[in-house]
Amino acid sequence: MVCSFYGIDELTDADFSVVPNPNNGQMTLNFDNLTGKINVKVYDMKGALIDDFQTYNNAGPSTYTYQMRNRADGIYYFVATGKEGTIAKKVIIRR
C-alpha cells in the first residue's frame, strides 16, 4: 500500500504501535524493527500537521512516552518514519 498524502510504505518486519488505544492523551509509542532516527508526525482528522518530533532507536524494540495536550477528543494519525520506511497508526483520544 502506498499513500501519497502520508508517504506510507509497505514494510515486512517493521512495526509501530500505540498503547493504550484509545487513550486520554498519554500514551506509549512502541517501535519494533524501525531503526535509526525515527521522525514522528501527528495529524488531526482534517489532515493538518499538529506535532512533529524525533526519537532514535539503535536496534530491536524501543518505546517513547508521548503526551498530547490541549487537543480535542477525536481521531489522530501518527506517522513514523525510520530507515526501513514509513508506518501510520490511527489513535483515538477520549478524555
pLDDT by residue (tens digit) across 13-64? Answer: 788 999 999 999 999 999 998 989 999 999 999 999 999 999 999 877 999 9
Can you give the pLDDT at residue 33? 87
C-alpha to C-alpha distance for 56 and 64, rounded to whole angstroms: 9
Residue spans of the domains in the chain: they are 15-93
CA neighbor of 80 nearest in space, from 13, 18, 1, 20: 18
What mean pLDDT do residues 75-92 have?
94
CATH architecture for the domain at 15-93: Sandwich (2.60)
Please give the grid coordinates belonging to residue 77. 494519525
Can you give the pLDDT at residue 6? 52
Distance of CA 44 to the CA centre of its chain: 12
Can you give the pLDDT at residue 58? 87
* Amino acid (1-letter code) at residue 16: F
